[in-house]
Chains A and B, each alone.
Chain A
Amino acid sequence: MIKNNKLLGIFWIILFAFLTLAPILILILGPKYNNRPPLLDLSVGLGFTGMAIMALQFVISGRIKILNRPFGTDLVYHFHRQIGIAAFFMVFAHPILLFILDRRYLRLLNLITAPWRARAAVTSILLLLVVVLTAEYRQKIKMSYKHWKIWHGILSTVMVALALVHIFLVGNYVNLPWKKALWIGYSAIFIGLLAYTRIIYPLRLIRRPFLVKETKEEYGDVWTIVMEPINHKGFQFAPGQFAWLTAWKTPFSDTEHPFSISSSAERKSEIEMSIKNLGPFTKKIRTLKSGDRIYVDGPYGAFNLDRFPKAERLIFIPGGIGVSPIMSMLRTMADRNDDRPTLLFYCNREWENLTFKDEIKNLEKNLKLKTIYTIEKPPQKWEGESGFLNMDILNRYIPKEWLKDGTDIFLCGPTPMMNAVENELRNVGFAHNQIHSERYGFI
């Protein structure tokens, strides 16, 4: 077991590159195919590589904790999206190059007369097109996250299964035993992951349910659910991490949503999530009542305080409901009697809606914490900072000696705010490895 995150990250990248390139490396190392047009080889090579990536996508998106640990779940999902687009172009190049090579291949597009190997391929590519387009333009076509997630899973599964059928039915490049073994291996990874994520993992979650203890209203249209494990120990999380929540349905329904944990990591008997009303699912959260059974899959995320134990000084910058994981960090620090100097730059649109403002005031008494509120639309007679958090405001409160190593910054909020603040922090003089954030704009 590799414990060092950097080494583990390098190991995963090398393994991914190897598994992606293995089909083409095997073609290169294998015997020469005489009299095959180069365009055909190019087409097959790109198709194979694209398919290897598609099969591996089930590993990348399979929510495997040891895979997520070195990078953070957000980065793994960004990679899943970006490499998916690259694979899409490779797979798409496969038929296009065949059509350029010989127009007779166009006949294979007729699903009525085409052989099964071509039917499988054409259907697979059409599904791939739908999968990629709906992933890229989900918000534009106003498709709900819940429906998209279910269909993304189903269509991707059928698409990869059909592509594997196509590869085995064509059989030209998988006739040697070791080539066949490689593709049987990819199929096994694909089927194994499918069984794990759709059957084994939901079953495990069903055996570890949580009970809603209380639902509390907070400032800013935010509701906090307090939950406790039923007949099990729950899970140990680090402050700042998140978990996937399934309510009103079982984990088999694949309708979970990710939320940051807002409670202290030192209070192991119960977990809290503070959720802002931002959509159909989050709007319903307030209807959860004491005694309701829910499922919590976690913890996930590299955005956590315990990952940086050498930090001597801390800066927290939440924007809006981004305060939720930051509250977990502050509450944990209070429970641990953590006396590290801490600055909290809390950004929000309005003062009245500022979630947890009363509790933060209390935390200031127990921690070495100074809070600077930056309010976009401040009330009349507001004497604090207003507008957006910028270099001038940061320079006014951050002592110069904090710029050196030992200061760690945790940034959480809407993506545009995080991008802007990250630039401002770099302008102030902080190094990129001092700034920690996670971005969930893809959800």
Chain B
Amino acid sequence: MRQRFSKIIVYLVTITAVFLTLYFAFIKSGTI
């Protein structure tokens, strides 16, 4: 159970980081 909690934080941070990077690369740059 506690390990699952750790996994959830890892997923949340990773997904947010990837999402923000995609935003930076494609939306902010005006590509999309």
A contact set with B: CB distance below 8 Å: 13, 16-17, 20-21, 24-25, 27-28, 32-33, 36, 38-39, 41-42, 45-46, 49, 71-72, 74-75, 78-79, 82-83, 86, 90, 422, 432, 435, 437, 439
Which residues 9-32 of B sit at the A interface, judged by CB distance below 8 A? 9-10, 12-14, 16-18, 20-26, 28-31
The SS class assigned to the B binding surface is helix
**Given A21-B16, A46-B18, A432-B1, A79 and B9 touching (CB < 8 A)?**
yes
Scoring B6, B17, B18, B28 by chain A CB atoms within 10 A of each residue's CB, the highest score goes to B17
Which residues from A are CB-within-8-Å of B14?
Answer: 86, 90
Give 23 pairs: A residue, B residue, CB < 8 Å, sorted on A: A13-B9, A20-B13, A21-B16, A25-B20, A27-B24, A28-B20, A28-B24, A32-B28, A38-B25, A38-B26, A38-B29, A39-B25, A41-B25, A42-B21, A45-B20, A45-B25, A74-B2, A75-B2, A79-B6, A79-B10, A86-B10, A90-B17, A432-B1
Are A82 and B24 in contact, CB atoms less than 8 angstroms apart? no
Are B26 and A21 in contact, CB atoms less than 8 angstroms apart? no
Are B17 and A20 in contact, CB atoms less than 8 angstroms apart? yes
Measured CB to CB, the closest approach of chain A to B26, in angstroms, equals: 5
Are A78 and B6 in contact, CB atoms less than 8 angstroms apart? yes
**Given A75-B3, A86-B14, A439-B3, A45 and B30 touching (CB < 8 A)?**
no
In the bound assembly, the distance between CA atoms of A21 and B12 in angstroms comes to 11
Are B17 and A422 in contact, CB atoms less than 8 angstroms apart? no
Are A24 and B20 in contact, CB atoms less than 8 angstroms apart? yes
Which residues from A are CB-within-8-Å of B1?
Answer: 422, 432, 435
User: B28 is contacted by which of A20, A28, A46, A86 (Cβ under 8 Å)?
Assistant: A28
Which residues from B are CB-within-8-Å of A432?
Answer: 1
In the bound assembly, the distance between CA atoms of A422 and B1 in angstroms comes to 9
Please name 16 further chain A to chain B contacts, defined as beta carbons within 8 Å, in addition to the given A24-B21, A49-B17, A90-B18, sorted by A numbering.
Answer: A13-B9, A20-B17, A21-B20, A24-B20, A24-B24, A28-B24, A32-B30, A38-B25, A38-B26, A41-B24, A42-B26, A45-B24, A45-B25, A78-B3, A79-B9, A437-B2
**Given A27-B24, A432-B1, A21 and B17 touching (CB < 8 A)?**
yes
Which residues from B are CB-within-8-Å of A45?
Answer: 20-21, 24-25
In the bound assembly, the distance between CA atoms of A32 and B24 in angstroms comes to 9
8 tightest A-B contacts by CB? A45-B21, A41-B25, A42-B25, A38-B25, A49-B17, A79-B6, A82-B10, A86-B14
In the bound assembly, the distance between CA atoms of A78 and B9 in angstroms comes to 11
Are A83 and B13 in contact, CB atoms less than 8 angstroms apart? yes
Which residues from B are CB-within-8-Å of A75?
Answer: 2-3, 5-6
Are A28 and B23 in contact, CB atoms less than 8 angstroms apart? yes
In the bound assembly, the distance between CA atoms of A281 and B17 in angstroms comes to 41
Are B13 and A17 in contact, CB atoms less than 8 angstroms apart? yes
Which residues from A are CB-within-8-Å of B29?
Answer: 32-33, 36, 38, 41
Which residues from A are CB-within-8-Å of B9?
Answer: 13, 79
Measured CB to CB, the closest approach of chain A to B18, in angstroms, equals: 7
Measured CB to CB, the closest approach of chain B to A94, in angstroms, equals: 11
In the bound assembly, the distance between CA atoms of A416 and B14 in angstroms comes to 29
In the bound assembly, the distance between CA atoms of A162 and B23 in angstroms comes to 28
In the bound assembly, the distance between CA atoms of A118 and B15 in angstroms comes to 28
Which residues from A are CB-within-8-Å of B23?
Answer: 28
**Given A21-B16, A72-B2, A422-B1, A82 and B7 touching (CB < 8 A)?**
yes
Which residues from A are CB-within-8-Å of B24?
Answer: 24, 27-28, 41-42, 45
Measured CB to CB, the closest approach of chain B to A89, in angstroms, equals: 8
Measured CB to CB, the closest approach of chain B to A286, in angstroms, equals: 34
In the bound assembly, the distance between CA atoms of A435 and B27 in angstroms comes to 46
Are A38 and B31 in contact, CB atoms less than 8 angstroms apart? yes
User: A86 is contacted by which of B5, B13, B20, B26 (Cβ under 8 Å)?
Assistant: B13
